[in-house]
Structure 1
Amino acid sequence: MTLEVAPAHDFDDMATMFTPRKPESSVCWCLSWRLSSNENRALAGTARADKVHELCSRDLAPGVLAHLDGEVAGWAGIAPRSELHPFANSRNIPHLDDLPVWSLWCIRVRPGFRRQGVTPALIEGAVAYARASGAPCVESYPVDNGGQRVDLTMAYVGTRSMFERAGFIKAAETDSVAGGFPRILMRRMLD
């Protein structure tokens, strides 16, 4: 079994992760935490895919993709917080200081690839990408669920324990909630 994580520059691989059964459907494409509310609402149907195609063609990838034995297995959204309108302007998630932190806001593993180590590999791959891009710190905003089950529709934010296992520490409370659980701000400083 070969598990590799790399920057998401291949739009076809992104499409494998996100294309809905009906291409004209307005699904997330992991843009909801990247764009302002107005921009997000304005992009409908295939325009969302077009926006991701544009993001994949930039020097700075929109995140990282995991491949298990050559097949697309998972995604992690990571970018400078300053590029992520909802986080950069959030009233619910605090800014602790002026560090140009990167935010790791979404982790998604495709059905059939779960429970094979993809999530920890995505977190480490995202952190490595941020470090290689000059980030001094990576933040995440997982739920503090105390071991309780998280509804799969809200599980993309991750859990406190999964980020603790990856070397993140709780840095602050937030006023944000996901799936009925409070979200916390966790950090991992990079050397």
Structure 2
Amino acid sequence: MSTDAAVDAILEVRPLTVETWPAFDAMVVRHNGIFGGCWCTWFHPERHDRAPGAEGSRQMKRQCVEGGIAHAALVMDGDEAIAWAEFGTPSELPNIHHRKQYDAEKVGDPDYRITCVFVDKRYRRKGVTETAIKGALELIAKDGGGVVEAYPHDLTEQTKKLSSSFLYNGTRRLYERLGFTYVRPKGMKNCVMSITVPPAVPTATPN
């Protein structure tokens, strides 16, 4: 499907599972492993049996998905994954940037955190990042909801435009539009933001 056609298409959000792994994997491969071959594993606890290099990251992520300890909202254009928003509990995703400062200043842990958002380079600056984050919040609601933290880039005082490829977790302005509240700064140009997601209302089953 062409990029112009994809903009007009209705995009679907699906959870990262064993069934959707091939689409997720293909997207990472298209982008040379994402940030040097990390396969979005940096935020997970380190595994003693992890093989080295990008292939080791790939295997580790697959094992986490198979074990039900890796979660993400995949934005799908047909059968192709074009974006994702990684989320999970603090025990699933304990590694965050500026963690020493974060741990020293936190009052408590959230129920969930959103740690990484990535969009296929063909679809950037088209609102897909927002679709991915909304998808993560919807999946969290289906899982019972709770307090959700995110750690976006705070560019409110920056005049120079930053490449979207470096915005691994979106921007403060984007999360404010989605209803998140600014909590505190984290590091030089990041911050902690929070939202309380109510549990999803079960859909009535027809008789």
Match of 1:151 in 2: 163
| Alpha carbons of structure 1 residues 186 and 61: separation in structure 2 relative to 1, 3 Å | same
How far does residue 89 in structure 1 lie from its aligned partner after superposition? 9.4
2:12 maps to which residue? 4
Query: Structure 1 residues 43, 137: closer, same or farther in 2, change over 3 A?
Result: farther
Q: Which letter maps to 2:193?
A: M
Further displaced range: 152-161 or 82-91? 82-91
Unpaired segments ≥5 residues, structure 2: 1-8, 199-207
Does the CA contact (< 8 Å) of 1:63 and 1:76 recur in 2? yes
Root-mean-square deviation (Å):
2.9
**Residue aligned with 2:118, SS:** strand
How far does residue 45 in structure 1 lie from its aligned partner after superposition?
A: 2.8
Question: Offset of 1:41 from its aligned partner?
Answer: 8.4
Q: Distance in 2 between matches of 1:155 and 1:15?
A: 21
1:79 aligns with 2:79: no
Partner of 2:174: 162
Q: State the partner residue of 1:98.
A: 108
Q: Which amino acid aligns with 2:148?
A: V
What is the SS of the residue equivalent to 2:37?
coil
TM-score (norm 2): 0.76
State, as a whole percentage, how many aligned pairs show the same letter: 24
1:123 aligns with 2:130: no
Q: Return the letter of the residue paired with 1:158.
A: G
How far apart are residue 153 of structure 1 and its match? Answer: 4.1
Gaps of 5+ in 1: none
Asked if residue 171 in structure 1 is aligned to residue 179 in structure 2, the reply is: no
Question: Secondary structure of the residue that 1:145 maps to in structure 2?
Answer: coil
Length-normalised TM-score, structure 1: 0.82
SS at match of 2:168: helix
Higher Cα Rg, which structure = 2
* Equivalent residues of 1:99, 1:136 under 8 A apart: no
* Number of equivalent positions: 184
Return the structure number with greater strand share.
1
Per the TM alignment, residue 163 of structure 1 is displaced from its structure 2 partner at its CA by 0.6
1:55 deviates by 2.0
Counting only pairs closer than 5 Å after superposition, residues 5-154 of structure 1 correspond to structure 2 as 5-9=13-17, 10-19=20-29, 27-36=37-46, 43-87=52-96, 90-94=99-103, 96-146=106-156, 148=159, 149-154=161-166
Structure 1 residue 100, shift from structure 2 partner: 4.1
Separation in 2, partners of 1:33, 1:60: 12
Distance in 1, matches of 2:75 and 2:94, equals: 25
Distance 1:105 1:21 in 2: 19
